[in-house]
Each structure stands twice: as C-alpha cells, then as structure tokens.
Amino acid sequence: MTTAPPPAPRSVPALKRRWTAALALAVAAGTACTLLLPRVLARAIDRTLAGAGLSSSIPLLVLVVIAACAEAAAQFAAPGGAAAVGGALRSAALRRVGAAGPAAAAGGPTAGDLAARLTGSAPQAALAGPAVVHTVAQLLTAAGAVAGLFLLAPRPAVAFLVAAPAGWLLVRRQVRRTAGHGEAYQAAQSEIASRLVEALRGGASIAAAGARSAELARVLRPLPELSGHGYALWRSQRETAWKVGLLVPATQVAVLAAAGADLAAGRLTAGGLAAAMAYATVGLGGFGAAQSLLDLARARAAVARLAPLGADPNPTPRFVELPCGGGGLEFRRVVVRAGSGLLLNHLDLAVPAGTWVAVVGADGAATSAVAALAAGLLRPERGEVRLDGADVAAVEPRQLRAAVAVAFADPVLYGETFLDALRIGQVDVEEGQLMDAVRAVGADAFLRRLPSGYRTPPADAPLSGGERQRVGLARALCRDAARLLVLDHATAALDPSAEATVLAALRPRAATRLCATRSPALAAGADLVAWLDRGRVVALAPHKALWRSPAYRALFAAAS
C-alpha cells in the first residue's frame, strides 16, 4: 500500500495564473485606452475648433477616467502578485527541501546559499509574470501606435520607423548582457552568504585560533566578483537609459517635422497633428519595454537559481507503509560517495531483529554513514537499505521517525527547556517513561542540579560534551515504541563509568540496536560487531572473536 504526501497549501502555478490574469486584464484595458486616446483627442480638438463646445471633450474625459482606473488596478496587481508569488515560491522551496529530508541535504545547497536564494532570488523570480505582461503590452502598444500613425499620416509614420529600429537593436543587446551579469551576481551573493553562515557556526573556534582576519578575508573573497557584476548591471542600465533618452527626442523631432509638413500642406488637421505626436509618444513607449526586459532577464536568472530547490527527484512521490516487524535491518550492495572517494563500496550487512550490532572501522565517516543510512538520514547512491523488508528511502517519513530512534555524537538540544529538548518530536511520551530513560543513562542528577531543574533553558546551562550526549541518549531511549535504535558515536565523550551506565541501559532493550562506535566497551557489549574496511564489511562476529586479530585491536588503539 502506498501513501501520497499531503498536498501543498498553496499552488505557485495557480497563484501565478490568477495574479498574472488580473494584471493582464488591467494592462489590456489601459492599452486599449492608450491606443484610442490620440483619435479621441484629435476629434475633440477639431470639433472644439469648429465651435462644437466643451461637450465634444466628454468622450475624452471618460476615456481618461477609464485609463486612470486601469492604471490603478495594474499598480495594485503588479506588486500584490509579485509579493504573493514570491511568498509562495519561498514556501514551495522550503516544503520541497523539507520533504527531501536530511537524506538529500548533503547534495543540496548550503544553509547560507539556501537563505540567499529564498530571500533574494524568490522575490526576483516573482517579477517574471509582471515583466512578461508589461513587455508584451508595451510592444503591442507600440505596434498599435505605429499602425494608427500610418492610418492617420503615412509620412510621420515612416519618419518614426526610420529611427525606432536602432533603439530596439540597442535594447536587445543590453538585455543579453544583463541576463548573464544578473545570474553571476546572484551566484556570488549566495557564495558569500554560505561562507558567512559557516563562519558564524564556527565563531568560537575562529576566535580561539586568532583567525578572525583570515576568516573575514575568506568570507569576502567573492566580493570583488560580486562588485564587478553589480557594477556591470548598473552600467548596462545606465547605457540603456541615456541612449534611449537621446533616441526618443530625436524620433519625436523627426515625427513632428513630417507632421508639420503635412499640416502646412493641408493633409493634416490641427487635431491630426496632436494625434500624430500622441501616437509617436505612445510608440516610443515601446522603449519602456527595455526596463521590463531587464526585469525579465533578472527574473530568469533568479528562476535558474531557484530551479534546483523546486526540482522534484520523484515527480509523483509515493511512500510505502512500514510493515509490522521487530526491526530487522538489511543493507544490500550499498554505495555511498564522499567527494571523489567511496565511503561505502557495495556494502552488504544483515542485522536480525532484536540484535545489537556495533559497527567499527578505521574510517569514522564510513561507520557514521552506515548509521545515517539505517536511520533514513542518508540515501545511498546505489543499493538499498531495508527495515523489516521495506526500503527505508521509500517509507512514509512519519512512520519511519516513529520506528527509528537516533542518538548523535553532538546532539542539538532544541526547546525552551531541557524538558522540551527531551520531548522534541515525541510529545505523547509519558513523563514517567521519560524520567526512566533519563535516570537509566545517569542524566537525572546533573539535570536536577540546574537552576530550574528540567525547566532550565538549555542556552542558560551549557553542558559538557558527555552530559549533552547523555541527554541525547535519554531522548532516544525514552521511545519504547521504536523498533530500531541507532547510535552514531553517541558515547564518544563519555567516561568509562558513564559509558558503563549507558551499556546497562542498552543491554535489556528488545529493539534492534545499531551502534557506530570506536569504543571497545560498546563493541564488547554488542551481540555482533560489523568490521568495516575500505567501505565493506570484512567480518561480522562477536567482539571477543575479532579481538584475536591485531588489525582489529589496532582500530581501538588508534581511537584512544
């Protein structure tokens, strides 16, 4: 049986269509009024000069009011739609990143890069719809104005067409340059953000090492590139503005001269002269598409930056239900890479339900990868990891989290209090069950000694590495319903006495236990030890049997 994921609360395509349609209607109404205005203006002028009175101006007034209303609607729809679509793009990207889970995090953007894309690229990408609407409207308006000018007076229209194409060629070239600089600018911005987040995470280490200046230089290394592309963007806009600014009055003078000649020859009325100039002005508004095209170029660059966040590796994700079982775990020909090297090379391992298996090896990253695979926090490049016969990568996430408890080497203690940190993700755990787990790992005594006991905020009571590990272990052990317990070097900071307490808590549990470790005591307490070498299991036997091997003993000697 399969389970589909919950639907997204808002559809980005639907929002785009709704707001773009509203903007398009408003802009279309404004465009129609703009194209009608010169004709209506010419008629009003000619009738007024003929003595028809002010009543001839009523159609002109009505048209101006309609145009003003359409412009007001467009001014509301453009920023409103951009804000709504930008928010929806951010939400969709965050949902996609969250749905991919920790297993996909290794191949995704860093935290800083993700923040830059969400805060910078998403709003820019949301301008694509308005930019397309305005570009199309401005070009259609310009084409309509030229057609109207031809019908009114062919000579001024020819004068217009002599000057206008040069401006259009100029705009196209500038837009191409802007698109490339825009994408490179956003990439450099994301790189700086990513480096800054890394530096903030390691702030204490940087200060202790006296490496503040060197780290500042590292974070700001992409700044010259960012500056270069930023200046290039502004130069492109500046060049477009002043060149178009020169071309517009030159075109108007040419049209005015041709229209004036027609007026002098009697081929054009006074109203016709005003209409010809109005058509020329409207036609020159097509150069306003330059800014819209620049916005569109930047939006395309932003969309390219957001595309990896919206890409769904499984367009129609289907999750399998986790069958009932005791936590039997199986690795089948699993391959995991780290950079250009192999962490796990076609690893095969079967862990019977209810068994306690320690995973040891010279490469701590490889043993941690085995733990992460078992917990569903890492996806193999090839091969499968199965829990009670179900592919861990395909199990519905909530079911997997309920079935697997994990303790880490460096647990993060979320929540306003230590009680919240212990209950994270498992609010239904009874308090007695929670206290039993805390006492079992020897954490109760030091937690009670805190200023407010269990209700002390973790930020106000820094713990040692071993104390943090015991809190993390208690958080995992209190989940009696979990069929698989995964420890990723979760006792590495414990002294022998504290480790013995944890071993005593692990031994009677019915759940399958998989422990990545370099502790000989933990390996000795396990039913079996999976010995990893060069990404493969070279032996699966009790610790006592493996201890006869000098190479095996050397693993623990190196760790100590």
Q: What pLDDT score was predicted for residue 257?
A: 84
Same domain, 266 and 371: no
Q: Is 427 in the same domain as 284?
A: no
Average of per-residue pLDDT values in the chain = 82
Same domain as 378, residue 261: no
Query: In terms of domains, do 382 and 259 share one?
Result: no
Q: Is the pLDDT of residue 177 over 80?
A: no
Question: Residue 473: which CATH number?
Answer: 3.40.50.300
Q: Is the pLDDT of residue 519 over 50?
A: yes
User: At 5, is the pLDDT very low, low, confident or very high (cuts 50, 70, 90)?
Assistant: very low
Q: How distant, in Å, are the alpha carbons of 82, 89, 305 from that of 13?
A: 13, 10, 18
pLDDT of 31-56, one tens digit each? 888 888 888 888 888 888 877 766 77
Residue 102 has pLDDT above 70, yes or no: no
Task: Note whether residue 361 is domain-resident.
Answer: yes
Beta strands 341-351 and 356-361, pairing class: unpaired
Task: Say if 130 falls within a structural domain.
Answer: yes
pLDDT value of residue 191: 82
pLDDT-derived band at 372 (thresholds 50, 70, 90) equals very high
Say whether pLDDT at 368 is over 70.
yes
Question: Quick check: 414 pLDDT over 90?
Answer: no
Q: What is the pLDDT of residue 335?
A: 94
Q: What is the 3-state secondary structure (H, E, C) of 406-431?
A: EEECCCCCCCCCHHHHHHCCCCCCCH
For the segment 258-315, what is each residue's pLDDT rounded down to a tens digit? 888 888 888 888 888 888 888 887 877 766 666 666 677 777 777 777 776 655 444 4
The whole-number pLDDT of residue 485 equals 96
- Domain-located, residue 315: no
Residue 242 is assigned to a structural domain of this protein: yes
Looking at the fold, whether 350 and 430 belong to one and the same domain comes out as: yes
Q: Is the pLDDT of residue 517 over 70?
A: yes
Is residue 448, in this structure, part of any structural domain at all?
Answer: yes
Q: How many domains does the chain have?
A: 2
Higher pLDDT, 353 or 119: 353
**Residue-level pLDDT at 282:** 80
Residue 105 has pLDDT above 60, yes or no: no
Residue 315 has what pLDDT? Answer: 45
Residue-level pLDDT at 332: 96
Q: How far apart are CA 302 and CA 514, in angstroms?
A: 44
DSSP 8-state code for residue 481: T
pLDDT: is 152 or 177 the higher one?
152
Is 506 in the same domain as 525? yes
- At 425 the pLDDT is 72
Q: Give the torsion through C-alpha atoms of 141, 143, 149, 154, to 10 deg.
A: 170
Task: Say yes or no: 267 and 343 in one domain.
Answer: no
**pLDDT, tens digit (0-9, with 9 covering 90-100), for 124-174:** 777 777 878 878 888 888 888 888 888 888 888 888 777 666 666 666 666
- Where is pLDDT greater, at 385 or 217? 385
Q: How confident is the model at residue 6 (pLDDT cuts 50, 70, 90)?
A: very low
Q: What is the percentage of the chain residues whose pLDDT exceeds 70? A: 84
Q: Tell me: do 23 and 62 sit in the same domain.
A: yes
Same domain, 394 and 269: no
Residue 303 lies in a domain: yes
Least confident of 161-165, 175-179, 526-530: 175-179
- Top pLDDT among 433 and 174 is at 433
258, 288, 310 - which closes a domain: 310
Query: Does the pLDDT at position 9 exceed 50?
Result: no
Q: Is the pLDDT of residue 8 over 60?
A: no
Q: Are residues 60 and 164 in the same domain?
A: yes
pLDDT in tens, 492-506: 999 999 999 999 999
The confidence score (pLDDT) of residue 552 equals: 94
Residue 398 confidence (pLDDT) = 84
* Residue 478: CB atoms within 10 Å: 24
The DSSP result for 118-167, as a single string, is: IIIIHHHHTTHHHHHHHHHHHHHHHHHHHHHHHHH-HHHHHHHHHHHHHH
Mean pLDDT value across residues 357-384: 92
Say what the pLDDT of residue 291 is: 65
Q: Is residue 400 part of a domain?
A: yes
pLDDT of residue 392: 92
CA dihedral (470, 476, 478, 484) in degrees, to 10, reads: -140
pLDDT for 488 beyond 70: yes
Based on the domain organization, do 419 and 305 belong to the same domain?
A: no
Query: What's the domain range around 108?
Result: 2-310
Residues 267 and 376 in one domain: no
Point out the domain boundary residue: 263, 283, 310: 310
Last residue of some domain: 259, 282, 310? 310
Looking at the domain assignment, is residue 333 inside a domain?
yes
Give the tokens for residue 112: 């800083």
Residue 445's pLDDT is 92
- Of the candidates 428, 415, 425, 426, the one whose C-alpha atom is nearest the C-alpha of residue 455 is 415
Q: Which of 88, 90, 84, 74 is nearest to 21 (CA)?
A: 74
**At 232, which CATH number?**
1.20.1560.10
